[in-house]
């Protein structure tokens, strides 16, 4: 079997939060399980695959989900459980791969290029890793192997759940050509709908000369990079996440939005999780970056420093909200928002006064038990 120039593995745990709840409580097996908080104000955090067939999805109000799926079994978020599962999976991935990077609690990339002498067939390696993850956690995952990260992710997305797929070198463009254009990272529902109106429905259409003038008007200089991804050309390396000097979250909305309140709620939720992570690791952040991507894929960011390294939400949110508003969100359709905290340093003693220290400890105890979604930031009046 010829040697691959690069061999990248992408792994995605199938419905991790709901699946973890079933592993922890086998009595839930076979039931319509979703993770979330109860109505009237609760939302769905994650849904199992059987529940998704009813149209239930993450961020949906729980009351609406119950109308779609009356037999829904709602379980509360359990962050400690998810972290235990993640740590077990990380041990498995670290055992097999010399270089890996987790992009979220349930997704990872790994570079298997140097393992080809041990595993001549990449499918054997992927199957072995899948089984090891299942034995360690009871969770099923989908694994894909390709020469680049983007091809591997698209392949995995098209073979979920519990899938395994290998995209051989030289077949990347052919594999992608017949995939829906929306399956390419960077193209959301609104852009896909606009492209479909002019006949661009498949990834292969992005490199069709007939559509070149139109696509160039939409993306300009960014079109070349998008076309390279459409061809399966992706040299982005796997950088070990243990070497990261920042932490962050970002999300692509199901529908583009012009609503500043939606953007603020989303970023505020990110901050709650990230600040908690800093405190658990004994760190504080000296700087932050707010990121927005509009419906033309133009990315704007605002990076600023805190007055001192912080890991407590209210004073951090004051600066972050001001930065978000300074991006002048007016009538522009935004498809992605993100927040990252950087310049991480060990948190110093006496970072808070005694009363605040007690409040933070109580807040962290609640988050550990129920997840960050149950907390609302205090200390800053809404405007």
* Residue 189 parent element (H or E): helix 189-197
Tell whether the model's pLDDT for residue 360 goes beyond 90: no
Tell whether the model's pLDDT for residue 353 goes beyond 50: no
Beta bridge partners of 142: 12
Question: Can you tell me the distance from the alpha carbon of 280 to that of 363, in angstroms, rounded to the nearest whole number?
Answer: 12
Higher pLDDT residue, 61 or 296?
A: 61
| CB atoms closer than 10 angstroms to residue 282 | 9
- The closest of 236, 171, 178, 183 to 207, measured between CA atoms, is 178
Q: Answer whether 48's CB lies under 8 Å from 55's CB.
A: no
Residue 382 bears catalytic tag: no
Q: Which pair of structure tokens corresponds to residue 65?
A: 């989900």
pLDDT (0 to 100) of residue 330: 66
Lowest mean pLDDT among 10-19, 111-120, 267-276: 267-276
What percentage of the chain reaches a pLDDT higher than 90? 43
Tell whether the model's pLDDT for residue 132 goes beyond 80: yes
Candidate list 83, 91, 107, 382, residue with the active-site label: 107
pLDDT (0 to 100) of residue 378: 41
Mean of per-residue pLDDT scores for the chain: 85
Mean pLDDT of 354-365: 52
Could you report the per-residue pLDDT of 208-230, keeping only the tens digit for each? Answer: 888 888 888 777 777 887 788 78
Mean pLDDT of 128-145: 98
pLDDT band of 374, cuts 50, 70, 90? very low
């Amino acid at each position: 079997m010829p040697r691959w120039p690069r061999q990248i593995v992408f792994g995605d745990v199938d419905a991790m939060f709901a699946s973890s709840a079933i592993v922890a409580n086998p009595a839930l097996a076979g039931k319509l399980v979703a993770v979330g908080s109860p109505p009237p104000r609760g939302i769905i955090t994650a849904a199992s695959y059987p529940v998704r067939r009813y149209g239930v999805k993450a961020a949906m109000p729980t009351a609406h989900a119950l109308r779609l799926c009356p037999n829904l079994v709602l379980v509360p978020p359990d962050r400690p459980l998810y972290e235990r599962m993640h740590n077990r999976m990380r041990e498995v991935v670290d055992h097999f791969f010399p270089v890996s990077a987790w992009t979220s609690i349930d997704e990872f990339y790994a570079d298997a290029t140097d393992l080809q002498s041990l595993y001549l067939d990449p499918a054997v390696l992927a199957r072995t890793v899948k089984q090891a993850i299942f034995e360690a956690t009871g969770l099923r995952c989908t694994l894909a192997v390709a020469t680049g990260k983007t091809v591997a992710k698209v392949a995995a997305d098209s073979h979920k759940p519990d899938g395994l797929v290998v995209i051989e070198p030289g077949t990347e463009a052919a594999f992608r050509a017949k995939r829906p254009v929306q399956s390419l990272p960077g193209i959301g529902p609104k852009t896909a709908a606009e492209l479909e109106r002019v006949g661009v429905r498949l990834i292969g259409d992005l490199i069709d000369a007939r559509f070149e003038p139109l696509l160039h008007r939409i993306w300009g200089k960014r079109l070349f990079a998008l076309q390279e991804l459409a061809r399966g050309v992706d040299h982005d390396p796997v950088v070990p996440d243990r070497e990261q000097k920042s932490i962050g979250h970002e999300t692509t909305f199901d529908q583009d939005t012009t609503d500043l309140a939606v953007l603020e709620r989303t970023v505020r939720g990110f901050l709650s999780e990230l600040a908690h992570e800093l405190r658990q690791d004994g760190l504080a952040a000296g700087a932050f970056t707010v990121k927005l991507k509009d419906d033309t894929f133009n990315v704007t960011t605002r990076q600023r420093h805190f007055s001192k390294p912080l890991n407590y939400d209210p004073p951090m949110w004051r600066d972050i909200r001001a930065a978000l508003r300074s991006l002048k969100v007016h009538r522009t359709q935004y498809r992605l928002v993100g927040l990252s905290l950087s310049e991480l340093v060990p948190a110093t003693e006496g970072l808070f006064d005694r009363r605040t220290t007690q409040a933070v400890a109580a807040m962290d105890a609640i988050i550990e038990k129920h997840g960050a979604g149950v907390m609302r930031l205090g200390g800053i009046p809404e405007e």
